[in-house]
Structure 1
Amino acid sequence: MKSKLIKVHPDDNVAIALVDLWQGDRLLFEGEEIIVLSDTQAKHKIAMVDLQPEDKIFMYGVLVGKAVSGIKKGDRLTTENVRHQASQTTQKTETTTWKAPDVSKWKDRTFMGYHRPDGQVGTANVWLFFPLVFCENRNVELLKDVFEKEFSFHKSAKQRQLLRNLIRGKDEDATVDFEEEETGIFDNIEVKFITHQGGCGGIRQDAVMLSKLLAGYVNNPNVAGATVLSLGCQNLQIDIFKKSLEAINPDIKKPVLIYEQQQEGTVDEMLNKIIRDSYEGIKKANEIKRQPAPLSKLKLGLECGGSDGFSGISANPALGYASDILAALGGSPILSEFPELCGVEQELVNRCVDDETATKFMALMKAYENAAEASGSGFDMNPSPGNIKDGLITDAMKSAGAAKKGGTSPIQAVLDYGEYVTKPGLNLLCTPGNDVESTTGMVGSGANVVVFTTGLGTPTGNPVAPIIKLSSNSTLAGRMPDIIDVDAGAVIKGEKTIPEMGEELFEYIINVAEGKIRSKADELDQDDFIPWKRGVSL
């Protein structure tokens, strides 16, 4: 009979319920009888030994909490009887060795991608519109209305007439019958639009940080070119943005069209100019075709959100195995969400390739935690109500499972928010645990595809990079098939091993990367963009 409990690590003193358990159930587990002392929903944890107040609780072989009251063997762990506790890390204590997975079957594989002049390769071909300041959001939205409706042949405003005439090579003032049937114009380019609430009003550091993020989006290999709108008087000046772009790529050859409203005249005059210029850029970008590229050109964002008690034993480890495959092939997995690495710092520090990398990671973690505590919060408040309801009752417990997304490969680089990925192998990127802020940050650091694990379901997407959703359980995959791409529930049911699930996921990633499969988020046109604002508003 299949076990109703699972213990992730031999040193753990708690186990996870794989199915709903009821008070009085008698289970045979690891050669001894466990009497369930209280009703326990699947995904929640029960004690494997008697725990006294202040006793340490271990999962994944690491400290994840402490008992605040007595917990009997077989009883359920709750937010009432357990509190967050994590081990402290002050230095690198050893250098871990890595046994890379067998990647012989992928060694000579390629994917069809969009090659950029700087050697990067995109999984998509996007022309991106965005503002440097929120004051330009309305104009970006007007352009979105014009371009999206014209390219998809819906009715629009007067600027649509200009664009259609440009498309047809007619006089700009010619009248157009908008009702006639048309087929698609461009088959090899997507036009995307992002807006935000930053660029002015906050501290100068926030404007600089936003400029780095936006420069990263322009430099992302999935972007063929960009149209940038500025007001003129905001904190995020055009020269700040240009310096950020130059810092990432001093010799960038992509077309980047920049317009400053206070220098352009009326709104109509500016929009007409933008439409003319951008249309020419989009038309040229459409000529870029997919060509074979090595898998080492993939930069894979590793994300989790709406996590449940199964995420850390199915979806996250499967993604971690896929991450290890990519690292072994010379690609760049990116692990972010620093609040969700609390408690596993020692393992990560020991995986860093040198002391400098380890020191940078510890410094970023400490600074982030101090900032959270100074605001009256802390990493211990990270689990969301949904996390807690589904069995993740402490931050360290959540973190221990979340870190499994990063696999076991050496950490080659540690990056602060806004820094760009340049090294092959696993990169750690400092971002919040918030799903969209984290995903936004990883794409800004160069991720050209993202895998997003979830146990509860989330629609998150991105305007530039495809987001692949991996469910931790089959119930979710069946309930929300419109957002879930791959189901890791077979691991929970004992039908697949972690390596088998990881290899299946890796093949899916390749298919999405070369356009054979569209992610569900892309099919839903789910384009989420939320920059991380670290400072106060002035």
Structure 2
Amino acid sequence: MKKTIQIHEKDNVLVALSHLSKGETIIHDNVEINLKQEVPAKHKFTVKALMKGDLIIMYGNVVGKAKIPLPEGSIITTQNTSHQTSSFGKKKSDINWKAPLIEKYRNQTFLGFHRQDGQVGTANYWLVIPLVFCENRNVEVIKQAFEEELGFAKSNPYKSLVKQMKAMYTEGKMDEFDRLGFEQGSITTSDKFFKNIDGIKFLTHQGGCGGTRQDSESLCALLAGYIHNPNVAGATVLSLGCQNAQSQILEQKLKKLNPTFSKPLIILEQQKEGTEQQLLSEAIKKTFLGMIEADKMVRKPAGLDKLTVGLECGGSDGFSGISANPAVGHASDLIVALGGKTILSEFPELCGVEQELIDRCVEEKTAERFSQLMQAYSKAAEAVGSGFDMNPSPGNIKDGLITDAMKSAGAAKKGGTSPITDVLDYTEYAVRSGLNLLCTPGNDVESTTAMAASGANIMLFTTGLGTPTGNPISPVIKISSNTTLAKRMPDIIDIDAGGIISGEKTISEVGEEILDYIILVASGKVKTKAVMLDQDDFIPWKRGVSL
């Protein structure tokens, strides 16, 4: 295994692929580099001496600026490096994309749920949604009534652990607590009553009233996107009646997405229904009848052009931009070449690569919109004292992502190299084949929540540190950047891209492995780890500053 890697020929830093000791000599381009400090795996060190103010180049992009003079072989840290990016402007060049070979996949299909509007789902869910936080409790009551009776509830293995602890405490055997545990296979799912429904999902939130009217309208647009998503068969919506997020706004947003919207949609208003008992009884009866219709749907073959794949990263490390992200980028390019859609979000994590993305836009107006959205987001963040430079988390920094530009340059690799066909603002729906850019925060759950609302029927999520993030309606495939993580947290990782770091696999090989896995998940033949854990994360963005 190689000790270091230079990602781009223009880079003036190398990435340590394994732990390097102080005083160790690294040979690069036939030149000896003596390390001035120890360099942990995933971190970077200088190829040549840099003066104060010199730019640091990685991925061929500006990712930082030296705060102090740095001799060759110096580790890059937050103490000696500051955030710095290149400026960006109008589209400068035409697209000259070389699509990947797709013969292997040209005639492949997945087994999906065909909706009347032409979309194809990779799953078949029923939704129960509150229009306002006042209805969260009622949603939870319906959840308790439905899940166990319909076979969607899972047993909790930790209950037996608490039971054992109670018994030991009663018997005075506290010293035996450390030896307690539970069987790994004790999480079971009872037989489902509705065989063709993957689940009934209950989304709760803290919005719908108070705040601004724009927040409520945005929430209605988000919920409309979830109902319109091809993985959803129908929905039950609970309204209080007096809140800002009125049911009429939700219906208008649905009609905007699809003027001939025809999915079963049950909307009940508590202030009209009367007592809580009347509301809940009516909601449960109508939901059950709607699910009877949803259960009539069966999986049928669909072309891979019917895939809409969200591209996400979270808990990133210094290997993410070298292994997992570019592998996902290759999978994205394959899907685009096959006529499908992919969605790259997290605008704070595209800081520093704007010009590259602008030049990849197929239309000038698309490039201009991306530029405008990025500038508006950046200014809003700076106005409250939280610029994009504050994006890297303590975990990112500890594992080698020192600046936001460095993090962004690696994060953008998830989008591959294909042309950008559309730029979407938050809650806008992806309708054009190809790579779409979607304005969301870098926050993992706010971003994945948004991509499902924009039509993602499956998601790819890379991680170097480990994060359990999932989504209620769109299966999330988790890809680790390194093998150590995949071995340490096998309960949340679906695919290990660490073979790229060790040299055992290429980026294209792992990219094809990812697409093969997508087809299995989309066909219902494999459940992702996030689905098995019921990791149903859902956080609407209120359009305030969130990095």
Alignment of 1:455-534 (within 5 A): 455-534=464-543
- The yes-or-no answer on 1:293 pairing with 2:302 is yes
**Corresponding residue SS for 1:21:** coil
CA distance in 2, matches of 1:205, 1:229: 20
- The yes-or-no answer on 1:426 pairing with 2:435 is yes
Q: What is the deviation of 1:183?
A: 4.6
Match of 2:183 in 1: none
Classify 1:212/1:153 alpha carbon distance in 2 versus 1 (closer, same or farther; 3 Å): closer
TM-score, scaled relative to structure 1:
0.94
CA deviation digits over 1:247-294, x for unaligned, max 9?
Answer: 111111100100010000100111001111100111110110000000
CA deviation digits over 1:79-137, x for unaligned, max 9?
Answer: 00000001111111111310000001111111000000000000000000111111100
CA deviation digits over 1:456-476, x for unaligned, max 9?
Answer: 000001110000000000000
CA distance in 2, matches of 1:314, 1:482: 20
Q: What is the deviation of 1:44?
A: 0.3
CA distance in 2, matches of 1:286, 1:209: 31
Q: What is the deviation of 1:154?
A: 7.6
CA distance in 2, matches of 1:89, 1:208: 32
Instruction: Supply the RMSD in Å over aligned alpha carbons.
Output: 1.3
Please identify runs of 4+ aligned residues in structure 1 that moved more than 3 A.
Answer: none
CA deviation digits over 1:191-246, x for unaligned, max 9?
Answer: 11110001111111111111110000000000000000100011101111111111
Q: What is the deviation of 1:29?
A: 2.3
The question of whether the paired residues in 1 share the 8 Å contact of 2:479 and 2:497 is answered with: yes
Match of 1:23 in 2: 22
**Corresponding residue SS for 1:106:** coil
The question of whether the paired residues in 2 share the 8 Å contact of 1:300 and 1:333 is answered with: yes
Match of 2:194 in 1: 186
Match of 1:70 in 2: 69
Match of 1:395 in 2: 404
Q: What is the deviation of 1:153?
A: 8.4
The question of whether the paired residues in 1 share the 8 Å contact of 2:95 and 2:362 is answered with: no
- The yes-or-no answer on 1:238 pairing with 2:247 is yes
Q: What amino acid sits opposite 2:281 in the alignment?
A: N
Q: What is the deviation of 1:152?
A: 2.8
Match of 1:152 in 2: 151
**Corresponding residue SS for 1:451:** strand
Alignment of 1:301-316 (within 5 A): 301-316=310-325
The question of whether the paired residues in 1 share the 8 Å contact of 2:152 and 2:200 is answered with: no
Q: What amino acid sits opposite 1:278 in the alignment?
A: T
Match of 1:412 in 2: 421
CA distance in 2, matches of 1:128, 1:521: 18
Q: What amino acid sits opposite 1:89 in the alignment?
A: F
CA distance in 1, matches of 2:522, 2:232: 14
Q: What amino acid sits opposite 1:527 in the alignment?
A: D
Q: What amino acid sits opposite 1:54 in the alignment?
A: G
CA distance in 2, matches of 1:438, 1:420: 14
The question of whether the paired residues in 2 share the 8 Å contact of 1:203 and 1:535 is answered with: no
- The yes-or-no answer on 1:83 pairing with 2:82 is yes
CA distance in 1, matches of 2:293, 2:69: 69
CA distance in 1, matches of 2:94, 2:388: 27
TM-score, scaled relative to structure 2:
0.92
Residue-pair matches, total: 510
CA distance in 1, matches of 2:234, 2:52: 59
**Corresponding residue SS for 2:223:** helix
Classify 1:36/1:119 alpha carbon distance in 2 versus 1 (closer, same or farther; 3 Å): same
Alignment of 1:159-170 (within 5 A): none
Q: What amino acid sits opposite 1:188 in the alignment?
A: N
CA distance in 2, matches of 1:529, 1:325: 29
Q: Which runs of 5+ in 1 are unaligned?
A: 156-181
The question of whether the paired residues in 2 share the 8 Å contact of 1:206 and 1:535 is answered with: no
CA distance in 2, matches of 1:441, 1:420: 10
Match of 1:108 in 2: 107
Q: What is the deviation of 1:184?
A: 3.2
Q: What amino acid sits opposite 2:348 in the alignment?
A: P
Q: Which runs of 5+ in 2 are unaligned?
A: 155-189
**Corresponding residue SS for 1:226:** strand
CA distance in 2, matches of 1:338, 1:534: 13
CA distance in 2, matches of 1:342, 1:27: 31
**Corresponding residue SS for 1:64:** strand
